[in-house]
Structure 1
Amino acid sequence: MASGRDVSPTLTAMTRALWTVLTGAVVTGLVIGLLPGISAEDGWAVLVAAILLGVFGAVLRPLLVSLLSAIGWAGVVAGWLVAQALLVWAALHLTPGVHVDGFWSAFWAAWLGAALMTAGSWLVTAGQPGVATRHLLRVNRHFRRSVPPDTTPGVIMIQIDGLSAPLARWAVEAGNLPTLGRWLRSGTHLLTEWHARLPATTPASQAGLLHGASDRVPAFRWYEKTTGRLVVTNHPADAALVESRGSDGRGLLADGGVSVGNVFSGDAPTSLLTMSTVPDRRSGPARYLSAYLLDPFGLTRSLVLTVGEIVTELHQARRQRLRQVEPRMRRDWRYVLLRGATNVLLRHLNLAVIAEQMMRGAPVVFCDFVDYDEIAHHAGPARPEALASLEGIDGVLATLEEVAASTPRPYHFVVLSDHGQSQGATFLQRYGVTLDELVKRLTAAGEVTAVDTGEQRGRAAALRAGLGRDEGERPGPADPARPEIVVAAGGNLALVYFARMAGRVTLEQIEERHPALLAGLTGHPGVGWVMVRSAVDGPVVLGRSGRRRLADGHVDGLDPLIGFGPHAVADLVRHDRLENTGDLLINSFWDPVAGEVAAFEELIGCHGGLGGDQDRPVLIHPRTFPVAGEPVGADEVHRLLCGWLEKVGCRNPDLIRRG
């Protein structure tokens, strides 16, 4: 006689199957009743149609995914539009007592039915993550069956882009992160703060975390005098270039790992949605993307929730305006769509990819979730909409924890961030002038080109078009075709290049050529300090009321780095030695009373420079993974992560870590 333990799973599966059939019948009946061109003679015909649709989806959809993936992008896009409609059309035609006029009736029935099914499931389950977990286990069960059990633990590394350690602690205490809070309270995990060295940006930190090569990235975007190349690290070609310079083939994910949604691959043999390994446009879509686009539950659920996210954004932006919340910025339609894409579609796609890789038994997965960072940029790092996105990522962790209970190997979870964010009204909002306009006014230069993500996008594109030629065609360092000055802004840090002057331009040269520039910058209330290299004193930090020599620490007047944190001096000494650093390094002011900086691009929450919590990321790790003190720099965290992987058996010790 079977025990209750044996019967319970069977009863649960039967209950779920019955619920699915009944829900499908109700939805099918609603669709038939609402749409013209489709009719049913009685309820039994509706029930049979619902059963046929379920059978067709289970049997034929995997074949359609394989077939359309082989055709290429055109096949996948066409399949996304009509695959479900074809299944609906076939099921309705084959059902006795159901009449459908033509394909377009079936087309609209497919989309309406998917939307109603998604909304109904969400209402009945109150949005519980268990529904998503069961779906992920169901669609990936064939991978699980083909993978033999392995007792060696794997490691899932989830990067919450832009989350500072102080905000993480507060969000746990406030209940915004229930999954992480449970891990910390139970003692299975510990929270450690680490220092992100200048520049505190995703590309710099990921170059360190994944490759141990953060010194290859002086900023989010920069100008290279030797080649005349503008490098913007969220462009695939530039990300690939930077990775080629920083990779030694022994990255964090080199031993069978999987990179998902990152800037760099970490030398992973499997790299998905990763900027530096974006496939050639002529290549076909990966099967995981085809499967996601052709999955009516996953995709339609994402689309419905994306619409909800867009409506929520419109409401929250209006509420900010009516309540006169300061600082704030105009959140235009591009951001509205971007928020829907990152906070729902990309998050769900990342979740689906990670779950599949876990069911395949991947030894280590590293995935970057960018939704919080994107919302915090536009709304503020501690605003309600930003915190809500953190709750969504915490829900992803809960789902992955449930999935891990059915994977062929056990998994440890590590959660980390790459930097934090600091808040404040922008430089333009405060002073009515952009930094490049200020530089142009102080130099009377013929051409000052700004490179940032706000109003200067057009000029940045023009600069890339003019200078982004083949290596042999790029102008030499003295070519007058170059702009005279290039200003590359990233958060509240800006790199300024005198593009027509070869090599690192010194303080003495700048004062001779542009005598009003340095005094004008340091005297401006929006500027905290300026670093420049002197031919006599080496790197010097200039402030409104004093200067500091970095070589020996000598200070004249008031130290301009007071209040910018305990690592400011060491970070600037290091940055002065980086290849392609600016002739000038300009940091905005930092107001410790208001807790605000002033971004040189149009972002309310920013990072990249010094001031506030932007250089204070978080590392949440199993208690059994040791950390000695506060790690300084992403390269040190890289060595820490590699050591953990070696400890659990997921990394070959012969992959020598960078010293």
Structure 2
Amino acid sequence: MRAAGILLVGWAALGLTVLVLPGLTADNGWSVLFAALLLGLFGVVLRPALAGLMATIGWIGVLAGWLLAQAALVYLALAITPGVHVDGFWTAFWASWIYSILISIVLWVVTAGRTEAVTRHLLWVNRRFRGKVPETGVPGVVFVQIDGLSAPLARWALDTGNLPTLGRWLRSGSHSLTEWHARLPATTPASQAGLLHGASDQVPAFRWYEKESGRLIVTNQPADAAVVETRLSDGNGLLAAGGVSVSNVFSGDAPVSLLTMSTARAGRGPDRYVSAYLLDPFGLTRSMVLTVGEIVKELHQARRQRLRRVEPRIRREPSYVLLRGVTNVLLRHLNLTILAEHLMRGTPAIYCDFVDYDEIAHHAGPARPEALAALEGIDGVLANLEEVAAAAPRPYHFVVVSDHGQSQGATFRQRYGAGLEDLVRGDVALATDDEQEGRAATLKASLLPSSGADAPRPVADEPEFVVVASGNLGLVYLARQPGRLSLEEIEKHAPGLVDRLAGHPGIGWVMVRTEDGPLVLGGAGRRLLRDDTVTGTDPLDGFGPYAAGDLRRHDRLSHAPDILVNSLHDPATGEVAAFEELVGCHGGLGGWQNRPLLIHPSSLTVDRRLDSADDVHKLLKSWLKSLH
């Protein structure tokens, strides 16, 4: 019945293509039906071989296949069908796109809102594994990371019905929700270094400066991620025993690593998966139609925010509009395709990071409608995976984990008219209160790009200062001075800098090293972390019970900055002030950014405190060991 339905849809789509495209004609409807039948057969017989061929050529082959392979199949079908006349290859090229888009639209109309149609397609695509993969009663585990989702917001979304799949799991008692603490820095690379390798202490921020090499490390760049993984991997990561890593920063020592930053340059790419996905009319064209819809939706939602004067908000750049379409549709669907195949292969452990929610929350706000809609989409993916797993050769447990949360607020630059780098330089007039006027000094600095998309590079000419940001966490290095400097040394080389930072109303606290150990300074007090002696007002008030411990740990990390800076935090609203132009941010302390979650099968119990990503790693490893 499914094949007959698809044939009818293909017949109708091809008929419309013949009607609207000059240079393509048919004598009658039966000729069109025969051509549609040939296209379906070619898809079953030839498309897998073409996908494999494209993958052996590499990314050039993948791109060429995306542009030309489907057109070649259409041209072949039309050319050998009696009663169909096509003027040449380029007519067939445009016919292939029109045909595929029409099929996608019809299928979307018929199946909108239903996960079953997507699941049936995934099972059909992976039908070759049925009966060939030995069945086993030993459970596997699928780890799904929802990037950036805080436990408080998840509970709220569950109460409002935005997450029906997760809500069903929790209400039925099959799963439980546990909150854990993401240590400073609350970033994906630091948390994944802990979750996947148990070594979060190798990552002091999302990006940092290494004085020894004069290099800026940016962890979402493949070259740098690979370097960092060599430091944190001991060969016994979470996925070492036959696991698969999908769309992560680090691999967890998985033998199969796809769309993962740290292995992207090692020739372990997803070429075959991408090839098959691009040549799948249901997958690609459906995703393209939905991507266009996502872009239109983003333009509408951004305009609505402006017209309603929603605050806080930021300007949503054109590059983000496209990025939202890619992450919220194309990457999500590609991840689902890869996961479904490995479920049907019986892979014992799979870990995949879905970044949709995190990316939208950065630009729109963590609890805004568009961010919540992204959460709903990921919840739908969980429903698909649950249905696919029911047909897999082994039973599967589903574990949902987030790496950090997000905190909201107007950015530092929006509030004060200048960025953290300007405050360090002291050469820009800041919009501060009267007490802050006249405190600026002329300091030479070099600001490195704060966008995660910028390529890593050495910092040229040894600037006096290097200032980098990770959300509302700032790192300041006196780049010309070797090693980690003490407060006394900073005062010698940059007199007044620490006081200027600590006294600014947009700064919650700064941490420096002294002869007596790490010292936290605020506008009206200080706290010596060695013995927690407080003078004046405690600068860590309102930053939570973990703040002092997190800072003691961060002070011991390699490549910690000379001055660690955290933005203000309003305990009444939970708002912070990002040093990047992001309305939702994470990386420092304050708000919900340090409160991620773990949703796990109730049969897999939590028997320890989860005060860090490393603690969660040990727990996940113990679960895998107990299942095998």
The TM-score range, normalised by the shorter chain, is over 0.9
Alignment of 1:105-184 (within 5 A): 105-184=91-170
Question: Which residue among 192, 198, 211 is the counterpart of 1:206?
Answer: 192
Question: Which residue among 434, 441, 444 is the counterpart of 2:442?
Answer: 444
1:275 paired residue number: 261
Deviation, 1:628, is: 3.0
Aligned partners of 2:202 and 2:231 also within 8 Å: yes
Spell out, residue by residue over 1:407-456, the C-alpha distance to the aligned partner (whole angstroms, 9 max, x if none): 111100000000000000000000001101111114522333344129xx
SS at 2:254 equivalent: coil
Which has the higher mean CA deviation after the structures are superposed, 182-191 or 444-453?
Answer: 444-453
Letter in 2 for 1:395: G
Question: Which residue among 309, 315, 335 is the counterpart of 2:300?
Answer: 315
Q: 1:587 and 1:72 mapped to 2: Cα distance?
A: 44
1:42 to 2:22 alignment: no
SS at 1:433 equivalent: coil
Aligned partners of 1:195 and 1:630 also within 8 Å: no
Question: Which residue among 180, 191, 194 is the counterpart of 2:180?
Answer: 194
Question: Which residue among 347, 359, 367 is the counterpart of 2:352?
Answer: 367
SS at 2:505 equivalent: coil
Spell out, residue by residue over 1:283-315, the C-alpha distance to the aligned partner (whole angstroms, 9 max, x if none): 886312221122222111111111110000000
When residues 511 and 465 of structure 1 are mapped into structure 2, their CA distance, relative to the original with a 3 A threshold, is: closer
Alignment of 1:213-612 (within 5 A): 213-280=199-266, 286-441=271-426, 442-453=440-451, 464-467=457-460, 481-535=461-515, 537-612=516-591
| TM-score, with structure 2 as normaliser | 0.96
1:75 paired residue number: 61
Q: 2:489 and 2:458 mapped to 1: Cα distance?
A: 30
Letter in 2 for 1:445: L
SS at 1:279 equivalent: helix
Q: 1:143 and 1:276 mapped to 2: Cα distance?
A: 29
1:622 paired residue number: 601
Which has the higher mean CA deviation after the structures are superposed, 392-401 or 137-146?
Answer: 137-146
* Structure 1 residue runs without a partner (length 5+): 1-14, 468-480, 650-659
Letter in 2 for 1:205: S
Aligned partners of 1:188 and 1:622 also within 8 Å: yes
1:470 paired residue number: none
Q: 1:90 and 1:228 mapped to 2: Cα distance?
A: 57
Deviation, 1:466, is: 4.5
Alignment of 1:79-118 (within 5 A): 79-118=65-104
Deviation, 1:69, is: 2.2
Q: 1:37 and 1:302 mapped to 2: Cα distance?
A: 28
Which has the higher mean CA deviation after the structures are superposed, 389-398 or 496-505?
Answer: 496-505
Q: 2:609 and 2:541 mapped to 1: Cα distance?
A: 22
Deviation, 1:230, is: 1.0
Q: 1:355 and 1:285 mapped to 2: Cα distance?
A: 14
Letter in 2 for 1:509: E
Spell out, residue by residue over 1:34-80, the C-alpha distance to the aligned partner (whole angstroms, 9 max, x if none): 11111111121121111111111111111211222223332221111
1:475 paired residue number: none
Letter in 2 for 1:160: I
1:3 paired residue number: none
Q: 2:459 and 2:529 mapped to 1: Cα distance?
A: 37
Q: 2:505 and 2:258 mapped to 1: Cα distance?
A: 45
Letter in 2 for 1:585: L
1:5 paired residue number: none
* Structure 2 residue runs without a partner (length 5+): 427-439
Letter in 1 for 2:446: V
Q: 1:195 and 1:117 mapped to 2: Cα distance?
A: 47
SS at 1:192 equivalent: strand
Deviation, 1:630, is: 4.5
Spell out, residue by residue over 1:609-631, the C-alpha distance to the aligned partner (whole angstroms, 9 max, x if none): 00000000000000001113641
Q: 2:449 and 2:138 mapped to 1: Cα distance?
A: 47
Deviation, 1:571, is: 0.3
Letter in 2 for 1:636: D
Aligned partners of 1:73 and 1:285 also within 8 Å: no
SS at 1:145 equivalent: coil
Aligned partners of 1:163 and 1:372 also within 8 Å: yes
Deviation, 1:127, is: 3.5
SS at 2:457 equivalent: helix
Aligned partners of 2:145 and 2:402 also within 8 Å: yes
Q: Percent identity?
A: 67
Deviation, 1:280, is: 5.0
Aligned partners of 1:453 and 1:602 also within 8 Å: no
SS at 2:131 equivalent: helix
SS at 1:74 equivalent: helix
Q: 2:269 and 2:596 mapped to 1: Cα distance?
A: 37
Aligned partners of 1:73 and 1:284 also within 8 Å: no
Aligned residue pairs total: 615
SS at 2:526 equivalent: strand
Q: 1:80 and 1:446 mapped to 2: Cα distance?
A: 50
SS at 1:375 equivalent: helix
Taking only aligned residues, the RMSD between alpha carbons, in angstroms, comes to 1.5
Which has the higher mean CA deviation after the structures are superposed, 183-192 or 26-35?
Answer: 26-35
Deviation, 1:594, is: 2.4
Letter in 2 for 1:401: E
When residues 519 and 126 of structure 1 are mapped into structure 2, their CA distance, relative to the original with a 3 A threshold, is: same
Q: 1:166 and 1:608 mapped to 2: Cα distance?
A: 18
Letter in 1 for 2:9: T
Letter in 1 for 2:408: Q
Deviation, 1:279, is: 3.1
Deviation, 1:128, is: 1.3
| TM-score, with structure 1 as normaliser | 0.91
SS at 1:36 equivalent: coil
SS at 2:580 equivalent: coil
When residues 607 and 484 of structure 1 are mapped into structure 2, their CA distance, relative to the original with a 3 A threshold, is: same
1:646 paired residue number: 625
Runs of 4+ in 1 over 6 A off after TM superposition: none
